[in-house]
Every structure is written in C-alpha cells, then in structure tokens.
C-alpha cells in the first residue's frame, strides 16, 4: 500500500494510490477549487467512457469525512503528459501525437447539445450563453472595464483590443455550428500520451471541471497557443486527424480560434492572484493577436 501526490493540477488535489486489494493503481481526485463541478465531471467521464480516452470512474462521493471535499476514484492511466514531451519531439512523433489529438477532439465535439451554456450537475444547460462577435465584445468590456482588467493590461492595449473586437469580432458569426461539448482547458498539461516516437497516441484527456456546451473554437484556441502552434507540421496533422474522424472546420477556423481564445486571457486579468508572469503573458498574447491577426491564413 502507498500513496503519492501527482504533479500538475493547480487547484484540485490528485493522489496516486496503491492498494493491497487492487491490482492496479487508483487516482484519488479531491475537488478543492469548486465542489459544484465534481458531479458534473463524474457524469462527463461516465458519458465519454466508450468514445473518448478518459479515466474510468470507480467511485464518486459528493463529500468525504476527512476534508469534506467531493472525491472521485478513477482508474490510474499510465502515460506522459504532453507538456513534458514537447521538447525533443521528432517530426514523426509530432505528427502521430497531433493526429491522435485531432481524433480525440473530434470525438469530444461529436457530443451535441440544444444550446450553448454551462452545465448543471446532470449535464443540463444551467446557464445559457451566446457565442458571437457581440458577445466577445461584451465579455471584454465586462472583464477589462467593469472588473478592472484594465489595471493589468493598461489603458492603451485595453483601448486597442476593444477596437479590434469591434472591427473583427463578427467573424465568429460566420460559423453557425450546433453547440457541442467543449473541454475548455484543452492544453498540453491535460493530455496524457502513451507510446513513444511515431506510435504516440492519446491515452487520456484529463480534468473536465471547466467543460461546457460551446464551440470547437475554444479547444483549438487553447491547444494552439505557443509553443504547440510552432511545432513543425502539428497544426496540419491535427486538422487531418480531426476531419478524418468526422470533425468539420470552417475555412477561417484559425482566426476564429484566436478571437475566442482571447476570452481566457480577459478572464485572467480579473484574478486577484494573477501574478506578474501571467499578467505579462496576457499582455503579450493579446498584443500579438491584434498585430498578427491579419497574417493568419486558412
């Protein structure tokens, strides 16, 4: 018997357990950040079990007698976090990983819902939202003006990005897609890989607490931040895997993804504990998006 704290996970607690009467390790996941997301994540993992690579749910409880937090017991999935594999990837390795990630994303986005919004515990739409150009601008104003993100970005870049969204935000309105399951934190730190070299594939997609009914653009925007977007051949192999597995993309999906991914950086500026590094990243990414937007081609 034994236990080990796992790396990664910025708010919730993940512990690898080895039990005498269980042949393989188990992951204990304690929902420290937001207890309300625990049952939602459990329901999602059960829903996706046969179509998306996710850990198998062994047990769920809305509370525990020691810390009081909701807990999940999951099958432990062996592999390496994609974030840790980034350096030193060969071109073949990159192609295999990207293709497999595209297949997994297509499977995730195949789950459709009647409207966009945030899930309740039973995966019904508890809080409807609208994803459109006007909505992007409204959200930017809420974060940067109403909630004070301007103090992080400064008045000039705040003015620039609001004007930018007034001019370019309507592009997302050109893709009227049926609302689909959106992971919303689809980053290299939440993608577990199995295999090596050209045999690499997705072993599990982790951490579903932010998932909602939305658009594929959010997941593509999150994934294709630097440095992933700079991996040679990654984006092409990603889209090939995605489309081969039934996913559909608008010709302007790359620029659309840049637009919707700005919402994450706007939200970062509202955090009281943002820290200097994240604040600088937000400033740089928003500025780069404005300056390079016209240079992004289909």
What predicted TM-score, i.e. pTM, was given to this entire model? 0.93
DSSP per-residue codes, 105-120? HHHHHT-B-SS-EEE-
Per-residue pLDDT tens digits of the chain, which is 298 residues long: 676 777 655 578 888 988 877 778 999 999 887 888 899 999 999 999 999 999 999 999 988 888 888 999 999 999 999 999 888 788 889 999 999 999 999 999 999 999 999 999 899 999 999 999 999 999 999 999 999 999 999 999 999 999 999 999 999 999 989 999 999 999 999 999 997 666 789 999 999 999 999 999 999 999 999 999 999 999 999 999 999 999 999 999 999 999 999 999 999 999 988 999 999 999 999 999 999 998 887 7
CATH of domain 2-75: 3.30.200.20
Q: Which of 214, 221, 223 is nearest to 252 (CA)?
A: 221
- Name the DSSP class of 186: -
Domain with CATH 3.90.1200.10 in the chain: 80-295
Residue 137, CA distances (Å) to 49, 143, 262, 263 in order? 37, 10, 10, 9
Half-sphere exposure of 240 (CA within 13 A, CB side): 11
What residues does CATH 3.30.200.20 cover in the chain?
Answer: 2-75
Fold of the domain spanning 80-295 = Aminoglycoside 3'-phosphotransferase; Chain: A, domain 2 (3.90.1200)
């Amino acid at each position: 018997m034994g236990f080990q704290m796992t790396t990664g996970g910025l708010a919730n607690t993940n512990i690898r357990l080895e039990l005498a009467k269980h042949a393989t390790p188990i992951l204990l996941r304690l929902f420290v950040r937001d207890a309300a997301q625990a049952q939602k994540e459990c329901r999602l993992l059960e829903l996706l079990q046969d179509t998306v690579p996710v850990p198998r749910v062994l047990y769920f409880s809305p509370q525990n007698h020691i810390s009081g937090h909701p807990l999940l017991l999951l099958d432990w999935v062996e592999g390496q976090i994609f974030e840790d594999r980034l350096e030193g990837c060969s071109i073949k390795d990159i192609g295999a990983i990207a293709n497999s990630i595209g297949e997994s994303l297509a499977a995730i986005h195949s789950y459709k819902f009647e409207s966009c919004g945030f899930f309740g515990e039973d995966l019904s739409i508890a809080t409807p939202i609208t994803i459109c150009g006007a909505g992007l601008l409204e959200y930017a104003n809420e974060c940067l003006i109403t909630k004070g993100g301007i103090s992080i970005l400064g008045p000039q870049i705040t003015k620039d990005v609001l004007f930018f969204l007034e001019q370019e935000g309507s592009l997302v309105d050109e893709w009227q897609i049926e609302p689909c399951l959106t992971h919303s934190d689809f980053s290299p730190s939440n993608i577990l890989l199995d295999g090596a070299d050209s045999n690499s594939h997705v072993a599990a997609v982790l951490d579903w607490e932010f998932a909602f009914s939305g658009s594929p653009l959010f997941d593509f925007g999150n994934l294709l931040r630097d440095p992933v977007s700079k991996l040679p051949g990654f984006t092409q192999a990603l889209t090939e895997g995605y489309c081969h597995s039934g996913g559909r993309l608008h010709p302007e999906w790359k620029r659309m993804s840049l637009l919707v991914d700005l919402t994450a950086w706007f939200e970062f500026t509202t955090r009281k504990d943002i820290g200097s590094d994240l604040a600088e990243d937000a400033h740089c990414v928003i500025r780069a998006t404005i300056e390079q937007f016209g240079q992004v081609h289909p």
